[in-house]
Amino acid sequence: MFAYVARRALLMIPTLFGIMLISFLIVQFAPGGPVERVLAQLQGNDTSATSRIAGGGGGDFAGGQQQPGGGAAETTSKYRGAQGLDPAFIKQLEAQFGFDKPPIERFGLMLWNYARFDFGKSYFRDVPVLQLIKEKLPVSISLGLWMTLLSYAISIPLGIRKAVKDGSTFDTWTSAVVIVGYAIPGFLFAILLIVLLGEGSSFLPIFPLRGLTSENFWQLPWYAKAADYLRHIFLPILAMALGAFATSTLLTKNSFLDEIRKQYVLTARMKGLSERQVLYGHVFRNAMLIVIAGFPGAFISAFFTGSLLIETVFSLDGLGLLSFESIVNRDYAVVFANLYIFSLLGLVVNLLSDLTYTWIDPRIDFETREV
């Protein structure tokens, strides 16, 4: 097993290199960039919905540089909106963002820094990237953890029940409900929940619609803190979990159906074991192998994906919103740091998923399998 883990760990290096290289090449050909964004801000042409960050790190170079005019000659520049600006100021901006170096050198320097987990500062916020990610983690952890736990808590019992009642009216109606729930976009359901249950609703204004906690959270006793947190997180989790359990429910059902039809189940029944003993003493371990082993991957998926619209609707400032704003604002320091961290976590979680198989069923041996 150690040799298999070592091989998988070594393969993470070229995989990460390939991911970062392809992403870096795409960015080189993408229109716009941080320099163009600063120029648009200086000339008042930045109408981005996320231009609120212009008041942050942009002040580092917007205060002491030469402004348009002032005797600066008209120049021909590769940057749109650079006409009338001093070429020295353009060079200063390029150096600010590291674009004064050739692409190959920038890519190599980025890989060297990332290998040491040095992600630098955000281009426009003048804050270390790791600090930004740390600030957004509570929201993403809450959404990912609660949605994964709720999804499994619903899908496993429901999938087992559907397998036992295969073909019955219960199985048919629950399948219809699961499929419909999976088909409804989460953000539409979120809007419906806000209209019906959110503060300011004319129906049942029960749940708050902003942040994870109230402003006076730290002054509350522990039980009031727990209640306040649950009130804030209830609607976002409900909106995200609507269709999240559909896949795992059907996977659980099909896994149980496959096992129930096998010969060892018939043998156990012939020995006089009850249906419950057969189901949970023999079938459960084999049927749940693929479902439980996928838990790490499901958690990471819920952690980093699918929450952007939910975060926006419920005013939750998490990693999804951070990544989106960084892409829109061409904050490549945050974009590539998020990509690197998420890719590394994904590779590690895939390895953990394989190791979970051997923990659930020791008969599985990856040493004899080619990587």
Confidence of residue 74 (pLDDT cuts 50, 70, 90): very low
Tokens 């990237």 sit on residue = 129
- Please write the tens of the pLDDT for every residue from 55-69: 444 434 333 333 333
CB neighbour list of residue 191: distance below 8 Å, 6 or more residues apart = 313
CB neighbourhood size of 184 (10 A): 13
Top pLDDT among 140 and 109 is at 109
Stretch 66-79: mean pLDDT, rounded?
42
> What mean pLDDT do residues 37-52 have?
61
pLDDT at position 309 over 70: yes
The CA-atom distances, in angstroms, between 275 and each of 160, 164, 270, 278, 280 are 13, 10, 11, 5, 9
Q: Tokens 């920038």 — which residue?
A: 106
Q: Find the range with the poorest average confidence among 92-106, 114-128, 213-227, 352-366.
A: 352-366
Q: Is the pLDDT of residue 205 over 60?
A: yes
How far apart are the C-alpha atoms of 255 and 251, rounded to whole Å? 6
User: Judging by beta carbons within 10 Å of its beta carbon (0-12, 13-18, 19+), is residue 270 exposed, middle or buried?
Assistant: exposed
Q: Report the first-to-last Cα separation within the chain, whole angstroms.
A: 12
- Say whether 318 sits in a helix, a strand or coil: coil
Confidence of residue 172 (pLDDT cuts 50, 70, 90): very high
Burial of residue 3 (CB within 10 Å: 0-12, 13-18, 19+) is exposed
pLDDT confidence band for 297 (50 / 70 / 90): low
- 198-204's contacts with Cβ under 8 Å and 24+ in sequence apart are 198/235
Take residue 278 and report the two structure tokens written for it. 């057969």
Residue 267 and residue 278 in contact, taking contact as beta carbons nearer than 8 Å: no
Residues 131, 139 contacting (CB under 8 angstroms): no
| Nearest to 334, CA basis, from 321, 317, 348 | 321
Domains, in order of start, for the chain:
131-328 (1.10.3720.10)
Pick the most confident of 220-229, 307-316, 361-370: 220-229
**170 to each of 158, 160, 180, 247, how far by Cα in Å?**
10, 12, 15, 18
State how far the Cα of 176 lies from the Cα of 73, in Å rounded to an integer.
69
Q: What is the average pLDDT value for the chain, to the nearest integer?
A: 79
pLDDT higher than 70, residue 79: no
The whole-angstrom separation of Cα 139 and Cα 258 is 39
Residue-level pLDDT at 59? 39
